[in-house]
Amino acid sequence: MTSAAQSGREREIRLLAELSEAVGEVFASVEGLRSAALEIARRVRPSGRQLRRSDLLELRGDVAQALARHAGFVAGAGVVLAPDALADAQLWIEWHWLNARSVPERLVVDLDPDSAEFYDYTTTEWYREPERTGEPHIAGPYVDYICTHEYTFTLSAPLIDDGRFLGIAGADVLASEVERLAVPSLARLPTVAAITSGNGRVISSNSPRLMPGMVLKPGRAQAAMRPVVTADDLPWRSRLPWVLLVQTA
């Protein structure tokens, strides 16, 4: 390998590493929320009574801190409870977002199954995947039409207390914020390049032919792209299954 090619390779690795690190930091806050929520569950358990909505109120401080720590990057955060995890609500969301005046506001959604506006979150990827695997997960980019109303990533981690799935802790990151980080370094690469999610959806690129939301599928003209850096190439264990691809010469 020539030294020019080597430095090109290093630059590609650094690009995905820096992006994964910036977004991955949000996982630390999600883990913090998870610990705080599980701490409440552990404290309540010996009393033999079930968790109640009011038990979750003390999480609001942790959520506000997480929102402040990632101000301008994380659009919302909180915990989302599994059906019947609480004694006094079948479904419950303790989720806060920064409103237009940057003040944390509780997300209010309709959780009455008989209502026309009922929001059943148990079918969403960010809820289901941590439930299924027991591991943290990043969903997206996807159109979040409940909370941010924008193109969004949701990072989530399962709340498992005494072997029981109680729900998830999570945070939303706007896709536009991730793009803001990615585009300058992508634009400096000498070839057409794109970063995709693990399932092949374009997160960001330096070409008008590869716009966010597109899917790189084999057999398509835009798919003459080959993966050059994956999460496995990064110097630490990344939870973001993202891939950097460049155009095949």
Partner 1 sequence: MVARRLAEAIRLGLLLDGERLPTESRLAAQLGVSIVTARDALATLRGMGLVETKRGRSGGSFVRSPGGSHSARLHAPLLRLSLHDVRDMGDHRAAIAGAAAMLAADRALEEDIGGLREHLERLRAAEGLTQRRRADARLHIEIAAAAQSPRLTREEISLWSQIGDLLWLPLSRAQREVIAAVIAEHGELIDAIADEDGERARDLASRHVNDETERLVNYRLRLGES
Report the SS3 class of residue 51: strand
Q: How far is the CB of 65 from partner 1 (least distance, A)?
A: 24
Question: What's phi and psi for 129, nearest 5 deg?
Answer: -65, -50
Site membership for partner 1, residue 200 (CB under 8 A): yes
By CB under 8 A, name the one of 38, 44, 189, 214 that touches partner 1: 214
Q: Can you list the pairs that 201-210 forms with residues at least 24 positions away whose Cβ atoms lie under 8 Å?
A: 201/141, 203/141, 203/175, 203/178, 203/179, 203/242, 204/178, 204/179
Instruction: Give whichever of 149 and 164 is closer to partner 1, judged by the CB atom.
Output: 149
CA of 34: how far to CAs of 63, 135, 160, in Å?
11, 12, 9
Q: How far is the CB of 215 from partner 1 (least distance, A)?
A: 6
Site membership for partner 1, residue 212 (CB under 8 A): yes
From 13-21, 69-77, 185-193, 210-218, span contacting partner 1 (CB under 8 A): 210-218
Closest CA to 183 of 173, 174, 194: 194
From 69-77, 107-115, 165-173, 239-247, span contacting partner 1 (CB under 8 A): 107-115
Q: Is the dihedral of CA 92, 94, 95, 99 positive or negative?
A: positive
Say which residues have a Cβ less than 8 Å from residue 201's Cβ, sequence separation at least 6: 141, 213, 214, 215, 216
Dihedral (Cα; 153, 159, 163, 164), 10-degree rounding: -100
By CB under 8 A, name the one of 46, 123, 162, 208 that touches partner 1: 123
By CB under 8 A, name the one of 57, 68, 215, 224 that touches partner 1: 215
From 7-15, 55-63, 135-143, 179-187, span contacting partner 1 (CB under 8 A): 135-143
By CB under 8 A, name the one of 150, 165, 183, 239 that touches partner 1: 150
Site membership for partner 1, residue 125 (CB under 8 A): yes
Residues that bind partner 1 (CB under 8 A): 108, 110, 112, 114-118, 123, 125, 141-143, 145, 149-151, 199-201, 212-215
